Structure 1
């Protein structure tokens, strides 16, 4: 099969496009024909070696944890899916090697759910990691309730945009930090935009004089420190980027694969509760360019890599 891989840590230049071994399908795995794979900040952080202290890399590493595609063959212990089923997945294992930026991936069944019918493959690929992150922070870590005020940082980004929609669906008032160019976008998601940068604390206090009930931090550093002082009494704080959140009595959250949570998100997508905005797509052989764009930051929604299923360059002639 064709795919992207890297044989050492480094910048986007270490990503190679070429022939890779066909995946082996274990008893609890599902062979998925990849249609699209979203690019997330964690992908280039893994590529640079930032997660080396916690995740072993078995080189060559195929990057990518998000996927949408079609089931080719379920493993012998799998009863949940059949050939031809359209699925999405947050295909993270406890080591780096078998990612989703390839024509096929053998995904553990615990990482998969049925694809939303109303989303394209490109949109659906952007749902798993970002959607699960938003869901697990808001529902499980912060336990957001109807009538509360929630502050979501980087509200126009991949995680933030879904967090705004989910928090609004939970009945919360949502304040979302974003650049002025994205204020209308944040409003369209159901949030009240707040310009980030100097003076953020004063702007938030102007909208919520008694403090906010919960803060979803996606930035860390100084933003986290400011956020801790914006909480109302008994307010809750969670961060997905900065473990120092614990020093402020908050929770550090690293998203985990969960088929039930992902199924709920898929159902919400079909119900119109959440939508995925795709800023730009790249063909598989230009994954390095997708990494570069994601690494620049200021993304509105998701950046997605697509796999061409037509004839010609970029398509393997055999099927695993």
Structure 2
């Protein structure tokens, strides 16, 4: 039997770990919602609902079954793509999540396209000119942005660009038939909010990774041999910085998906975050479970990608012995 090479074996091992982690997270999501106080049927149908209506509602959604049975049914449906029906409006949850997830991933991708290259370039520049005015300005600006919560940054941008300058709308209203240009314009402020937050983190971590590499002996030896500074950075430092930079980028991309909730609520953007908040208010627990599962799966997948990229880019980690 042919043995797998180290990289495919590593990928399979990491995927197995990711699936196990997702299984554990799914159990935590389900049981955390189970611990919420109150009766779900009464919360959704209201205090005026008749006993017969409440009994029919519980029977329809399997609320009379033991929690373990309901968890296994929900997990089995999730594995096949069937997350059941929304308790609030009786629509298939998969359809609700698909529409909102498309908007969330579009907004996250919009922000990532701007934030990732800008953060890497600024981080490398700050590391190359460490201690200069440029480095101090970039570090202080990013530290200031990190110090504020997302909703505060969002409201400041709304005040400046929507209220005072009136360049962009304060509400990110999008529709299925909207063109790309109109969608980019409508979602610029929420995307800019997320860019400022994640770019600050990525820039500082990129700078730290490059600075650490520039202090290593082999880089100093290259300088002593008379190799030009640009060549030292491009040939010796940056390839070895791929692993930490990729990890930082993947973690911040995961934040763009998972941490988008507050930004979507501020701009009333019809994404997964807004749907999650609305579903929590309505006690629509089936939709909450599905949305949380998508957030968890995305976060785990991006972390796995960062882990694999980091190990593949560093041969020493493929052969730890």
Same fold (TM over 0.5): no
TM-score normalised to structure 2 length: 0.23
The structure with the largest helix share of the pair is 2
Of structures 1 and 2, the larger Rg is shown by: 2
Which gives a bigger RCO, structure 1 or 2 (Cα 8 Å, sep 6+)?
Answer: 2
